[in-house]
């Protein structure tokens, strides 16, 4: 029997415009709303990310973060 899909947690999240546009595009392509798309991505995080690439992308993002905040 499948688990019932309930959105029980809500939180404010700050996102870049690029990140939000990509989330909206992914959600639309998948036929989901943004909350459902985020739930899918986090529930399936290990299978939708490339473990080898993730560390590199995270280091790159962190190195550019301060400059992007200005």
Residue 9 lies in a domain: no
pLDDT at residue number 69: 81
Q: What is the distance between the alpha carbons of residues 37 and 32, in angstroms, rounded to a whole number?
A: 6
pLDDT surpasses 70 at 1: no
> How many domains, in total, are found in the chain?
1
Q: Which residue has the higher pLDDT, 4 or 49?
A: 49
Residue 26 lies in a domain: yes
First to last CA, the chain: 49
Tell me which residue range forms the domain holding 21.
17-69
Q: Output Rg (C-alpha) for the chain, integer angstroms.
A: 15
Task: Give the helix/strand (H/E) hosting 55.
Answer: helix 51-69
pLDDT at residue number 2: 64
Is there a contact between 69 and 58 (Cβ–Cβ < 8 Å)? Answer: no
For the segment 9-59, what is each residue's pLDDT rounded down to a tens digit?
888 888 999 999 999 999 999 999 999 999 999 999 999 999 889 999 999
pLDDT at residue number 54: 92
Q: Find, among 5, 1, 70, 2, the residue nearest to 37 by Cα.
A: 5
pLDDT surpasses 60 at 65: yes
């Amino acid at each position: 029997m499948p688990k019932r899909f309930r959105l029980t947690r809500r939180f404010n999240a700050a996102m870049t415009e690029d990140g939000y546009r990509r989330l909206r595009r992914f959600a639309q392509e998948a036929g989901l709303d943004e909350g459902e798309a985020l739930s899918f991505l986090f529930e399936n995080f290990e299978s939708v990310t490339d473990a080898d690439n993730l560390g590199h992308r995270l280091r790159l993002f962190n190195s550019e973060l301060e400059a992007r905040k200005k």
